[in-house]
Chains A and B, each alone.
Chain A
Amino acid sequence: MLELAIKGTKRYYGWMTFLLAVIGAGFLLYLWQLDFGLGITGMSRDASWGFYIANFTFLVGVAAGGVMVVLPYYLHDYKAFGKVTILGEFLAIASVIMCMTFIIVDLGQPMRIFNVFLYPTPNSVLFWDTVVLSGYLLLNIVIGWNVLEAERNNVHYQQWLKPFIYLSIPWAISIHTVTAYLYCGLPGRGFWLTAILAPRFLSSAFASGPALLILMCLIIRRVSTFDPGREQIQSLAKIVAYAICVNVFFFLCEVFVVFYSQIPEHMDHFKYLFVGLHGKGAYVPWMWASLILMVIGILLTVNPITRKNEGVLAVACVVIFFGTWIDKGLGMISGGFTPNPLHHVNEYIPTLPEIGIALGVWAMGFFILTALFKIAVGVKEEVRA
């Protein structure tokens, strides 16, 4: 089926060349980082993780979000989603590959990465994170590829795939749970030390992942003869609506606990993010923007009149995607590190080379995503014709 990815229109080639150029630029910047060290980023002794890990965290969510089309189809026999499950699985593949790349570019000694497998350490959450992420990647490649191939040959997929499909559903939950455990099990980091972190991560995942899928469906309908379907898009939109509501609710639960208890260790991080602390507050406009975007997202997706209008729905999805990205991809990590454990406020601001490398990784993900979606859509068109 790979041949479908190399036969395309001029527009397809143009888009892929553009992505390749961004990947190339990011790669050059990465070579610089490899040579100099992580000192070209804005990270420091106090903010020891930054933009890379934040984007990694967000993309684990997008990957897990793919399960929102798989689950209703395979567990509840919701037939309409049969048309789009492959898109969810392929989105998961591209996202997990981005996640892994973000981890690698964040390592100080990337050539030693296999030490994680040479000296496996079950008490480290990072060890489990590599296990669940690579497992999820493998599951989605095996399932997605075989189901699509079966569809192309007009046969039912092989029976041995069934257990793997069922396994992939709890596995999707696990990748984001384990990723949250990276943060929420650390003593002395008041911002993350909360049992609601994993549920919060999942709710934002189930909003951002399906929101991106809706946008992809709308694009696919425009550029190909395959229509993912109005019912499918509307069902996805309802999932997004519930998930974004739950996400904001969980956030408010956190705000209540933190501000009613008045424990400074937990409160100071929220203060830093939303009103600034000790005169430092680079994230204040971003965090309020995130909150406002998520609320607009709720209004547009919950209200049936706006949800049913696909143009407005597209805007709502963009709004939700960016709102959750700021929340998780910007505030979640730097907010946890500021103030530092000694209550010094040393702000973390990503540098341009750092952002460039991150853009390169995103471009790589979209390159893979475009190629995979091209294959999937190609098969769908073939089968229909």
Chain B
Amino acid sequence: MDSIRRRVLQLLGLSALGLTSKPIRDAFAQEEEQVKYQTKKGENALTAQQWAMVIDTRAFESEGDLEPLIEACHKIHNVPQLRNKNHEIKWIWPEHYHNAFPLKAGRFLSEEVEHRPFLVLCNHCENPSCVRACPTKATFKRESDGIVLMDFHRCIGCRFCMAACPFGARSFNFRDPRPFIRETNKQFPTRMKGVVEKCNFCAERLAVGQMPACVEASEGKLTFGDLYDPESEVRELIRTNYTIRRKQALGTDPCVYYIV
């Protein structure tokens, strides 16, 4: 009797193991898999091999100049305004030169640059360390245009991506953000507590042929385009101006360029 019960339990255990190991086997045998589903692009969708941004920092004198850009982004993306600094969520915000570029900050600096505000956001790196760290592929680099995106429904909230990001670009929902959204934009999802979020280069706007909200609000001070199109406006700016990127030495290849 006892041995039969044991045998049955053993078999049950083995079959449970066999059933649950399928996704793991699949992960290691991915080359055989074929793409079954495809999302069709909208008619007006803007496309690129790798989206990139050039910020002309010379055009911004005070943090007030950046406010409309930040406001535009945070408003359409339902970014909450939390009073507790520990719970803060931000996608795009101003920093001093020595915080935005800690590796390049000298003690003696052009006074003008020292007082200039620098707009920082997710760099949508070509070699993103956050994507490498995520254990569920909830954050991923979209192959079609290089945007580093988040799946808010898959994220388990382990915050490994936040530790991996060398730019502090990511925020975590330490509490339910919905009561702190001033005006909810129904066109974009709100988030729930316990997931990570960050700038998405306005993937939802690009899909319908619009430029990112901050670029639109900047009135030409921010330029957005394809890094791999030699004719693109961003390439033209990078060609004709001296640009710097944040923490370039770390090898993540950020796609946000700054004209200083």
A214 to chain B, nearest CB (A): 34
Partner of B175, one of A37, A121, A124, A130: A37
B20 at the interface (CB under 8 A from A): yes
Contact of B156 with A108 in the complex, beta carbons under 8 Å: yes
> Chain A residues near B87 (CB, 8 Å)?
39, 44
With the chains together, A175 CA to B138 CA distance in Å? Answer: 25
Determine if A120 and B129 form an interchain contact, defined as CB atoms under 8 angstroms apart. no
Contact of B165 among A36, A41, A341 (CB under 8 A): A341
Instruction: State the CA gap A42–B171 with chains docked (Å).
Output: 15
| Residue A215, interface by CB 8 Å | no
- A265 to B104: give the CA distance in the assembly, Å: 12
Out of A43, A46, A122, name the residue touching B174 (CB < 8 Å): A43
Q: Are B156 and A188 in contact (CB under 8 A)?
A: no
Within the complex, the shortest CB–CB distance from A119 to chain B, in Å, comes to: 5
A-B contact count (CB 8 A): 164
**Chain A hits for B162, CB < 8 A:** 45, 48
Q: Say yes or no: A126 contacts B160, CB within 8 Å.
A: yes
Verify A108–B194 contact, CB threshold 8 A: yes
* Cβ-defined contact, A340 with B168, below 8 A: yes
Chain B residues, Cβ within 8 Å of A108:
155-159, 172-173, 193-196
Asked if A42 and B194 make an inter-chain contact with CB atoms under 8 angstroms apart, the answer reads: no
Any B CB within 8 A of the CB of A162: no
Across the interface, B160 reaches (CB within 8 A) one of A37, A46, A124, A188, namely A124
B207 interfacial by beta-carbon distance below 8 Å: no
Q: Quick one: closest B residue to A111, CB to CB?
A: B156
Which of A119, A187, A343 is within 8 Å of B102, CB to CB?
A: A343
Closest chain-B Cβ to A55's Cβ sits at a distance in Å of 16
Whether A45 pairs with B138 at a CB distance below 8 angstroms is no
Assign chain B's interface to a size class.
35 or more
- Report the stretch among B2-10, B62-70, B93-101, B231-239 that lies at the interface: B93-101
Question: How does the 8 Å CB contact mask read for A95-133 relative to B, with 1 for contact and 0 for none?
Answer: 000000001001111101101111111111111001000
Q: How far apart sit A277 and B86, CA to CA, in the bound complex (Å)? A: 19
Report the count of interface residues on A (CB-CB < 8 A). Answer: 49
Q: Which residue of A lies closest to B125 (CB)?
A: A187
Chief secondary structure at chain B's binding surface: loop
Q: Name the distance in Å between A322's Cβ and chain B's nearest Cβ.
A: 26
Interface residue from A115, A130, A187, A336 paired with B250 (Cβ < 8 Å):
A187
The winner among B89, B163, B167, B174 for most chain A CB atoms within 10 A is B163
In A2-58, the 8 Å CB interface with B consists of 36-39, 41-46, 48-49
Q: Is A248 an interface residue (CB 8 A)?
A: no
**Interface core residue of A39, A188, A336 (most chain B CB under 10 Å):** A188
A120 contacts B23, CB within 8 Å? Answer: yes
**What is the chain A residue whose CB lies nearest that of B120?**
A342
Question: In the complex the two chains form, what is the Cα distance from A37 to B174 in whole Å?
Answer: 5
A321-345 toward B: CB 8 Å interface, digit per residue (1/0)? 0000000000000001100111110
Query: Is there contact, CB below 8 Å, between B163 and A49?
Result: yes
What's the minimum C-beta distance from A117 to chain B, rounded to whole angstroms? 6
**A63 vs chain B, min Cβ distance (A):** 20
> A157-194, CB under 8 A of B: which get 1 and which 0?
00000000000000000000000001100111100000
| Least CB distance, B158 to chain A, in whole angstroms | 6
B160 near A182 with CB under 8 A, answer yes
Known: A36-B175, A39-B174, A48-B162. A117 touches B23 (CB 8 A): yes
Q: Indicate whether B187 reaches chain A with its CB closer than 8 angstroms.
A: no
The contact of B159 among A48, A115, A188, by CB within 8 Å, is A48
Residues on the A chain within 8 Å of B168, using CB: 45-46, 340-342
| Cross-chain contact B164 with A115 (CB below 8 angstroms) | no
B129:A122 contact, CB within 8 angstroms: no
Bitwise, A62-86 to B at CB < 8 A (1) or not (0) is 0000000000000000000000000
User: Which B residues lie within 8 Å of A106 (CB)?
Assistant: 158-159
Residue in contact with A127 in the complex, picked from B20, B88, B135, B159, CB distance below 8 Å: B135
Shortest beta-carbon contacts, A-B, top 6:
A108-B157, A188-B166, A108-B194, A39-B174, A37-B193, A44-B86
Can you list 27 A-B contacts (CB < 8 A)?
Answer: A36-B175, A36-B193, A37-B193, A44-B88, A45-B88, A45-B162, A46-B168, A48-B159, A48-B162, A48-B172, A106-B158, A107-B194, A108-B193, A108-B196, A109-B192, A112-B154, A112-B156, A113-B156, A126-B133, A126-B160, A130-B135, A188-B129, A188-B250, A265-B103, A342-B100, A342-B102, A342-B167
On B, residues with C-beta under 8 Å from A are: 20, 23-24, 27-28, 84-90, 95, 98-100, 102-103, 120, 129, 132-138, 154-160, 162-168, 170-176, 192-196, 247, 250-252
Add 19 more A-B contacts to A187-B166, A187-B252, A342-B102 (CB < 8 A).
A41-B174, A44-B88, A45-B88, A45-B89, A46-B168, A103-B158, A108-B158, A109-B192, A112-B155, A115-B135, A115-B136, A118-B23, A119-B137, A121-B27, A186-B133, A188-B247, A188-B250, A341-B102, A341-B168
